[in-house]
């Protein structure tokens, strides 16, 4: 019994669950008008600034992370989520993984609302996924003495740079959500901690918490205070 519970606890069921939910939503969108149909996207909760600010539909900051535009979009995101999510969930645990994923996604969407095209539809798990990349950068900074962490952080750091450059060169990609999600994940990683690897200096956690609160407050003020 204990062996079964231990094996279940090590299984990345949060990552798998998120992937399943994303594909279910995509399937429902497909049979409801198509994942590239504007009305379908709005109906299922894509991020649209006028609806959020004028109608108070702030829930779209969360629902938008489950909406994908086209089969290529969801396949690329879900493959990336699997490979990165499994590692983060194993290191941080199931609950902390979810906290990082959703908060980074929300933060990325907030940044997109502030700096992005005010009339553009935005959707996808990219902001949350870039938040997981941000966590790896945090791990590389805090646990660089760990050979595995150091190597993975360097590899993913290079990948992130290439991904951001690619985002800037291609149209239709919400680079603001990517950058915001990555920054959010980087800071949130310090807050939740990772006891399986070791302790994080209290000064770093305080600085990260203050920075995150200030940035979140500035983003909300920039949206509501305008």
Full set of structural domains in the chain with CATH:
2-224 (1.20.1540.10)
Other beta carbons within 10 Å of 204:
15
Residue whose structure tokens are 């952080």: 153
Instruction: Give the pLDDT score at 72.
Output: 92
Question: Residue 41: which residues within 8 A CB-CB, separation 6 or more?
Answer: 29, 35, 67, 69, 121, 123
Q: Alpha-carbon distance 184 to 175, whole Å?
A: 14
Q: Which residues of the chain are under the pLDDT cut of 50?
A: 1-2, 4-5
Burial class (CB in 10 A: 0-12, 13-18, 19+), 113: buried
Query: Long-range contacts for 191-196 (Cβ within 8 Å, ≥24 apart)?
Result: 192/92, 192/96, 192/99, 192/100, 193/96, 194/91, 194/92, 194/96, 194/139, 196/91, 196/92, 196/93
Contact 103, 208 (CB under 8 A): no
Three-state SS at 146: coil
Question: Residue 91: which residues within 8 A CB-CB, separation 6 or more?
Answer: 139, 194, 196, 197
Q: Which residues are catalytic?
A: 126, 178
Three-state SS at 47: strand
Per residue in 147-193, pLDDT (tens digit) is 888 888 888 888 788 777 776 666 667 889 999 999 999 999 999 99
Per residue in 209-222, pLDDT (tens digit) is 999 999 999 988 88
Instruction: Give the pLDDT score at 226.
Output: 56
Instruction: Give the pLDDT score at 7.
Output: 59
Instruction: Give the pLDDT score at 6.
Output: 54
- Give the chain's count of helices (H) and strands (E): 11, 2
């Amino acid at each position: 019994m204990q062996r079964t519970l231990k094996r279940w606890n090590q299984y990345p069921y949060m990552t798998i669950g998120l992937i399943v939910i994303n594909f279910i939503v995509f399937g429902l969108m497909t049979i409801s008008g198509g994942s590239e149909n504007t009305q379908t996207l709005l109906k299922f909760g894509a991020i649209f600034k006028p609806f959020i600010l004028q109608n108070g539909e702030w829930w779209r900051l969360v629902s938008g992370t489950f909406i994908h535009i086209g089969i290529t979009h969801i396949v690329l995101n879900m493959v990336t989520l699997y490979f990165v999510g499994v590692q983060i969930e194993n290191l941080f645990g199931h609950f902390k993984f979810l906290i990082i994923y959703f908060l980074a996604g929300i933060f990325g969407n907030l940044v997109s609302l502030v700096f992005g095209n005010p009339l553009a539809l935005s959707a996808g798990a990219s902001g949350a996924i870039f938040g997981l990349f941000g966590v790896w950068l945090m791990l590389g900074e805090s646990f660089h003495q760990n050979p595995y962490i150091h190597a993975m952080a360097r590899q993913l750091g290079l990948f992130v740079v290439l991904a951001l450059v690619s985002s800037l060169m291609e149209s239709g990609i919400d680079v603001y959500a990517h950058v915001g999600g990555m920054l959010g994940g980087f800071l949130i990683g310090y807050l939740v901690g990772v006891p399986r690897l070791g302790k994080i200096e209290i000064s770093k956690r305080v600085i990260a918490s203050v920075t995150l609160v200030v940035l979140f407050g500035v983003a909300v003020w920039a949206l509501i205070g305008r």
